Structure 1
């Protein structure tokens, strides 16, 4: 988001931070409830228009939000939604997108409070790869015409026993594909998780599974290069004949044997 919407989003995220206060349980519940609010607003164009109407007083919009949500969600969820209603947004959809981002932030804060944030980042990456590698599964999860409940049941069946609750909740929301493809939405959620600790995300392709010592050396080397902590998403790719391929923020550092052989072949071919 940019401009006036970005400023309003900042206030909404500040309300989330104030609400979670290091309590993992309340943060997880807040995230789930904000996603529910997003679902309601997505289906209520008239309500979105009122809540983002610049000619309507902020107090009136906050009062409307509170009355609509009363007895349906917890007080801290209403507080966050009221923060959104108080803000100014370039478009009605920006308010709803902002609340989705707030829900992600709350779930990320929950994992951080538990000390499982890095595990959640890894689970999001691995679940995303599993879905993307199965054309039929990807088609179902990415199809906006497929009803929500069958999608969630499918994701639960595949991942509920394998990932943390925060990861599953984020997968559920990504399957709504509100702002783009499933992969794009999930990547955005992963970036929010990494930003919680001001970490970079590095995609690393290797020919074989790296040991703990190798992972630590690689993590330290990338962190030293970019001056920030880094989270590694590892892909074992047999086509990598030696070395590694590292991608960070669009920059690719290719140290593979195959790339060096190809470069030599081009030189020999003139």
Structure 2
């Protein structure tokens, strides 16, 4: 998103945080309602354009949103959508993209309240790795000829009882409505949102052998000092790393042996 849309999304996220800070608001139900509005705006392009028309007064658009959604979703959800259409959006699609992001954040907030956010982060990462290694599963979940109910049933069989409820909800929503993205891109976005709830970065660590708890703690501490943020480590084992590790934080990739990288990082911190 650019310009006005980025500012509008930031304001909407602040309003969502204020809503979900209240224990009277069911964050999971709010996520479902925002996802439903997203789906409607994806289908009804004309409506989306009306609600983001810069030539229309914000209050008029907010009133229309209240009339359309007030009887379909809860008061908090309707108020949130109304506030969003008062804002200016660079493109009409940005409104739907923002609503989808808010729905995902609301679900992650529900997981945070339940104390399962760490599990959700790990499970999203693991599911992405399973897709990478299992081309048959990926094909089944992305087959345009397969029905959405069939894909959802497959996901329920795979994840039901094995993953956190929030993980299952997020993955089902992503597969049901990919909105032009690959599954890998969608899962990566969800992982970043999950990490953001803890105000921390995600480091994807690929090592030749499993790391011990002590090595994970030491590596996490060093990376946290280097980047100035708390760090969540997603660990993947790949024998082709040949005794070293590969660490990716955002677009930056660090290669080298565990000992060498930790020692080098220590020297950099001490200098």
Q: With structure 2 as the length reference, what TM-score do the two structures score?
A: 0.88
2:155 maps to which residue? 155
- Tell me the distance in 1 between the aligned counterparts of 2:227 and 2:143: 38
- Tell me the distance in 1 between the aligned counterparts of 2:143 and 2:12: 29
2:37 maps to which residue? 37
| 1:169 match: secondary structure | helix
- Tell me the distance in 2 between the aligned counterparts of 1:201 and 1:92: 31
Is the Cα contact below 8 Å between 1:198 and 1:228 reproduced in 2?
A: yes
Change (3 A) 1:154 1:92: same
Is the Cα contact below 8 Å between 2:220 and 2:233 reproduced in 1?
A: yes
Superposed displacement of residue 42, structure 1: 0.7
Is 1:90 paired with 2:90? yes
- Tell me the distance in 2 between the aligned counterparts of 1:242 and 1:95: 47
1:263 maps to which residue? none
| 2:88 match: secondary structure | coil
Is the Cα contact below 8 Å between 2:209 and 2:239 reproduced in 1?
A: yes
- Tell me the distance in 2 between the aligned counterparts of 1:129 and 1:79: 38
- Tell me the distance in 1 between the aligned counterparts of 2:99 and 2:105: 10
Is the Cα contact below 8 Å between 2:19 and 2:25 reproduced in 1?
A: no
| 2:241 match: secondary structure | coil
Superposed displacement of residue 21, structure 1: 0.9
Is the Cα contact below 8 Å between 1:23 and 1:110 reproduced in 2?
A: no
1:8 maps to which residue? 8
Change (3 A) 1:25 1:160: farther
Aligned residue pairs total 257
Is 1:18 paired with 2:53? no
Where does structure 1 differ by over 4 angstroms across 4 or more consecutive aligned residues?
143-146
Change (3 A) 1:188 1:179: farther
| 2:239 match: secondary structure | coil
1:180 maps to which residue? 181
1:267 maps to which residue? none
1:244 maps to which residue? 245
1:208 maps to which residue? 209
| 1:208 match: secondary structure | coil
- Tell me the distance in 2 between the aligned counterparts of 1:7 and 1:104: 19
Is 1:255 paired with 2:256? yes
Is 1:223 paired with 2:259? no
Cα RMSD between the aligned structures?
1.9
Superposed displacement of residue 172, structure 1: 1.8
Is the Cα contact below 8 Å between 2:207 and 2:238 reproduced in 1?
A: yes
| 1:54 match: secondary structure | coil
Is the Cα contact below 8 Å between 1:244 and 1:256 reproduced in 2?
A: yes
Per-residue CA deviations over 1:15-57 (Å, capped at 9, x if unaligned) read: 2111111649711211122111111111111211111111222
| 1:239 match: secondary structure | helix
Superposed displacement of residue 139, structure 1: 2.3
2:110 maps to which residue? 110
Structure 2 stretches of 5 or more lacking a match? Answer: 259-271
Structure 1 stretches of 5 or more lacking a match? Answer: 258-270
- Tell me the distance in 1 between the aligned counterparts of 2:145 and 2:62: 32
Is the Cα contact below 8 Å between 1:104 and 1:189 reproduced in 2?
A: yes
1:134 maps to which residue? 134
Is the Cα contact below 8 Å between 2:204 and 2:248 reproduced in 1?
A: yes
Change (3 A) 1:146 1:16: farther
